[in-house]
A and B are shown apart, each in its own frame.
Chain A
């Protein structure tokens, strides 16, 4: 039936076009957002809390929620795990589109939600609530600020750190208690660690590698050399500067000149390290406990190395708490009380001592409980030391595109497809196109 199928094709297209024309544009209207959460007859409030931390960390979060529920009787919080970063973002967007959101959510890139009008700036509650901002490291407030507004509450943060295999260090004649502190030392150490252990002319033990989020580690190198990622207004990315190009060149040299890093092998890096095939690994401090658990050798952790003559500059990562808009002021106030509890000093201590996340309160480092914890887990010292050098990369809407572009640039130089300048210029071009499409203020 040849004739019939072509008629079908045309018919189908016409139907879809008519449907499109008549379908309206549901996406363009701004939906009135109202979160769930309810008040029953006795005035008891129930809140919905969505979080995206799984496994053992998720258990700690749930324990904190239970503590909150038990500590008072006016508010009950229902926590539900909503998958990791991509899944919870999809859920939140779906929820915002439908107009029915949770009351509180824990997720990454929280300040970006500010533009949607679906969340209430935390700053609206901090002052009236008498919260003392100075108790928390300033870098965490910066991390949660976008466009001059403090949107979200600091909660779970991490820094990139240098993991190293103490046994391999010792075998290579390096002192396991003296990890490298500059990139020059990294190269030196790396050369000692890179070997062909079974004498078949193939390197099977490498000096250094990084986990998959290469954009994070590259950003660390950029910042450490004085380069910036983006301008304060969020309208231009700045990694085509000479300082940045220099650091991508360094990265490229690790692979192509010094040959201490395998080209484009980042997906395998963590498994290689745990299998004892890699001397040093750049990874997140939040993985500390799983790294120690999964390794069959002694793991060492050090602060990220710095450029010689400069101090380290370490960008933080992690998630935050947001309060979603709710018409009923009582419910919104209850949501704030919950957020305040979850970000209180006691909760922060609990989170910091039961997971690999950073203590966000500056005086926690002097508290006896935390000191005791550090003496039991000396590897955590590296992440707390990193706090002295921690900074926050400003959030901007094209961040996702930018991270992906930087990963592409890393890939290109490692495989010798482009030189660092070309790669970064191409990355910038891709991101600028996205930025240009932002609505002008």
Chain B
């Protein structure tokens, strides 16, 4: 709605206000509570960290301005460069868990969306991993993945006549093991979100489909999938963001090893900040991670959101 430059009378202003201005003002009022908190507790620290990324700040020494040197070191430095790029690859590898998690959670949510007796117990079961103490989780999974022949998975393999594996201690298997554990750990959240999304699909639609003689698969394809797509889109986008930020499983099970194959960018960030105390370099990694995530998310919005059915 372009305003005629010559006609900025109070009346046209007032009509603009009634048309768009008032809504804009109201919208920002709605956004205000969140915005205030974000500005103070997220954006200011983020800016602080961008500034820090232009410094060499190796504790306990004072910070020194070095411009883009941290970034140069990460991308092309002789020592840090290979480590950084290896972390980038590890991050991409680890993010393969997102589509796996999405598919499994989707299927389980469908299964759990019945009214059969006992379903409440099953739903609770899938939720338990998200609330179990991480120490308990790590102890049990360490037994499952124990490299000796008495590890639980190895015992299974031996019973099937297969050779034992070193799981988390084998550079080739460590990442798939972590992905499996990540899927197991994160299922609960996604199932809940899918269940909530399934609730939003009016039952009348399914009943109408039943009358038309539609089978289970057809209902899935033409009703469930499209109407669930806003939820699915959310889980995809958030899944990728969380996957790139994931740190707990790695810290619990492999500490980035063996041979750094499970050192993702997020874990590398933790190492540089809290083990090497190189805060400038850590901030640079954080900025890079942020930019990567921003790009990935915007790409998803641009490419995928147009296939989402909102109404």
Contacts and interface: CB of A to CB of B under 8 A. Distances in A.
Contact of B258 (A26, A112, A264, A400): A264
Contacts of B274: 86, 89-90
A267 B142 contact: yes
A434 B46 CA distance: 25
A214 to B, nearest CB: 11
Interface stretch (B55-63, B112-120, B211-219, B229-237): B55-63
Given A2-B302, A200-B158, A20 B147 contact: no
A202 B276 contact: no
A262 B147 contact: yes
User: Which of B80, B149, B298 lies at the interface centre, i.e. has the most chain A CB atoms within 10 A of its CB?
Assistant: B149
B61 A28 contact: no
Given A23-B51, A26-B48, A116-B60, A202 B164 contact: yes
Nearest to B50: A20
A429 to B, nearest CB: 6
A16 B259 contact: no
A397 B271 contact: no
Contacts of A116: 59-60
Given A116-B60, A437-B58, A25 B169 contact: no
Interface residues of A, number: 55
Instruction: Say which size band chain B's interface belongs to.
Output: 35 or more
B164 A429 contact: no
Contacts of A439: 61-62, 64
Contact of B169 (A202, A265, A404): A265
A19 B47 contact: yes
B47 A262 contact: no
Given A9-B298, A204-B149, A264 B169 contact: yes
Contact of B55 (A28, A277, A398): A28
Interface string A419-434: 0000000000110011
B52 interface: yes
A154 to B, nearest CB: 20
Contacts of B51: 20, 23-27
A262 B64 CA distance: 45
B148 A277 contact: yes
Interface stretch (A234-242, A336-344, A359-367, A408-416): A408-416
Nearest to B54: A20
Contacts of B258: 264, 411, 415
Interface in B34-80: 43-44, 46-48, 50-52, 55-65, 77-80
B197 interface: no
Contacts of A264: 166, 169, 257-258
B60 A112 contact: yes
B259 A268 contact: no
A14 interface: no
A97 to B, nearest CB: 11
A203 B164 CA distance: 11
A271 B255 CA distance: 17
9 contacts: A5-B301, A28-B65, A115-B60, A264-B258, A267-B142, A401-B276, A433-B79, A437-B58, A439-B62
Given A23-B50, A23-B51, A397-B61, 11 more contacts: A16-B46, A25-B63, A27-B55, A27-B57, A28-B62, A115-B61, A264-B166, A277-B150, A397-B59, A433-B78, A438-B61
Q: Which 4 A-B pairs have the closest CB atoms?
A: A115-B60, A202-B149, A19-B47, A264-B169
